[in-house]
Amino acid sequence: MRHLAILGGGPAGYVAASHAAAHGARVTLIDPRPLGGTCLHQGCIPTKVLVESCVLLEKFKRAEEFGLQTVGSISADWSKLKQRFSEVVAMLGEGIDRLMENRSVTCIRGYGCFIDEDTLRVADKVIRPDATLICTGSFPTAPAGFDIDGAFIGTSDDLLQWESLPQSILIIGSGIIACEFACILKSLDVDVTILASGSRLMSAGDKDVSVVLQREMRKNGIKCIFDCRIERVVREPEGVVAYKDGQAVAVAERALVAIGRDANSKNLGLESAGVAINGYGEIVVDDLMRTTAADIYAAGDVNGRSGLAHAASAQAKLAVDHFLNRHCTPIRDRAIPVAVFTHPEIAYVGRTEEEAKRDELDYTVGKFDLRALGRAHALGEISGFVKAIVAKDNGHLLGLHIIGPHASELVHEGALLLQRYGKAEELRATVHAHPTIAEAVLEAVEDALGQATHKLLSKRQHHDILQFS
């Protein structure tokens, strides 16, 4: 029985342990903290519990639009919201522990580090596995000049521990974490100002999606200041102040620093093991998650390939399969979907239009607005669209971008197609249930391939019809 040691018990580590044990390996899982990692304890799960509470709160606020009468006002209770996500986190954590017990995984609570390429030390224990998988994750970036104290100037790890919410907050950053917290806090009646270093929100996503997100945030009262690279955030008598080029640009009661995450690669003894890191502190891996040292792998945030929990899990399974000599295929990174739980929700997979243009691809774009769907009107959520990017030469789907209700579920239509190098015609030929938001995926693909059934003809299309009639 081959022995695999795993450093870190987050969505890469515990999934690797489960997968390896299920296929006959002896597994030792090492983590100083409860299993589940940032995703379970400070990230994905607690924030999504908050998102669902905020979605319900926003619906209650609009009850009259749905023909409903309410008695009294609806308000949020931060302490009870915290209690709810804590209960969900605890329940899921217990589930992971039971899973490890069920699969006879040996769990050691402590910090593991390499003595050499073949040997690990955890406190007074020495472990000599056949291979090691590093899944130590990442931590919030905290630049010099940002006086992070956890209480008034904090990261996403700190915010969920706050005993109360501020009346106003500065959010430094414009990516997924920044935008999700902006929407959550605004729903909870916090005055939110986003300070973005670039010219738009969610710069990794499609520009058209950013336009709608920024519009909806503005409508909801979230202030955004762009091209504002903050160099210093400090607490002063009037509050927390953010500085750019030596000048104060914004002030609020507290600040959230959400400008990225750094690989947790320090104090692991990587040099002793011959494991190389790049200039960002990320462990260098190949397409099978192998490091520069024999029989040492790295998966998840620590290798810098993706900051997504589901990508970490997929990488970890791939590493395990290679270790166990099972069939394995490198992960197609462009087929990994991204879900952003803002309001409206965002999800995308594949290339953005900007990337397709940069790569000089010959492509066509199809787009369908949600306001043309009966289901969107029934939900009272008509802001948003689906956008499909299709290669002209072979009809392959290049990208699918969604902003609107249920985007995180719908994006998997595109992910499945991209994973198998499928053609957009396959989506067009798939009958979609009515009335659903998923119909917008069909219509966007139809639009890219010629004409969406429920989209008005352009002047050019009118002209072409007259020419051939």
Q: Do residue 21 and residue 94 come from a single domain?
A: yes
Q: Among 306, 331, 356, which residue terminates a domain? A: 331
Extended strands (E) in 351-447: 363-369, 385-391, 397-403
Give the rounded percent of residues in the chain with a pLDDT score beyond 70. Answer: 97
Residue 225 forms part of a structural domain: yes
Residue 359 lies in a domain: yes
The number of distinct structural domains making up the chain is: 3
266 and 253, same domain (yes or no): no
d(CA 446, CA 438): 13
> Is the per-residue pLDDT at 467 higher than 70?
no
Please report which confidence band the pLDDT of residue 292 belongs to, taking 50, 70 and 90 as the band edges: very high
Pair (268, 131) in one structural domain = yes
Q: How confident is the model at residue 461 (pLDDT cuts 50, 70, 90)?
A: low
Q: Do 283 and 421 belong to one domain? A: no
Each residue of 161-183: pLDDT tens digit?
Answer: 999 999 999 999 999 999 999 99
Above 50 in pLDDT, residue 142?
yes
Question: Mean pLDDT over residues 249-257, rounded?
Answer: 98
The model's pLDDT over 423-443, given as tens digits with 9 standing for 90+, comes to 999 999 999 999 999 999 999
The CATH number given to whatever domain includes residue 322 is 3.50.50.60
Q: Looking at the structure, tell me whether residues 26 and 133 fall in a common domain.
A: yes
- Answer whether residue 147 is part of any domain: no
Residue-number span of the structural domain to which 189 is assigned: 153-259
Count of beta carbons in the 10 Å neighbourhood of residue 374 = 12
Question: Do 65 and 99 fall into the same domain?
Answer: yes
Read off the pLDDT band of 466 (50, 70, 90).
very low
- Is 455 inside any structural domain? no
Residue 425 belongs to some domain of the structure: yes
Does 468 have pLDDT greater than 60?
Answer: no
Whether 455 shows a pLDDT value over 90: the answer reads no
463 is a catalytic site residue: no
Alpha carbon of 44 to those of 36, 37, 393: distances in Å?
Answer: 11, 10, 39
pLDDT category at 459 given cuts 50, 70, 90 is low
pLDDT at 9: 97
With 0.85 as the threshold, say if the pTM is over it.
yes
- Answer yes or no: do 249 and 277 share one domain: no
Give CA–CA dist 222/338, Å, rounded.
Answer: 23
Question: With 80 as the cut, is the pLDDT of residue 20 above it?
Answer: yes
Does the structure show a pLDDT above 50 at 215?
Answer: yes
179 and 247 housed in the same domain: yes
Q: Which of 23, 377, 434, 463 is catalytic?
A: 434
Question: Do the domain assignments include residue 428?
Answer: yes
Which among 331, 356, 371 is the end of a domain?
A: 331
| 320/432 same-domain check | no
Residues 32 and 127 in one domain: yes
441 and 349 belong to one structural domain: yes
Question: Residues 204, 226: one domain?
Answer: yes
Q: Are 354 and 51 in contact (CB under 8 A)?
A: no
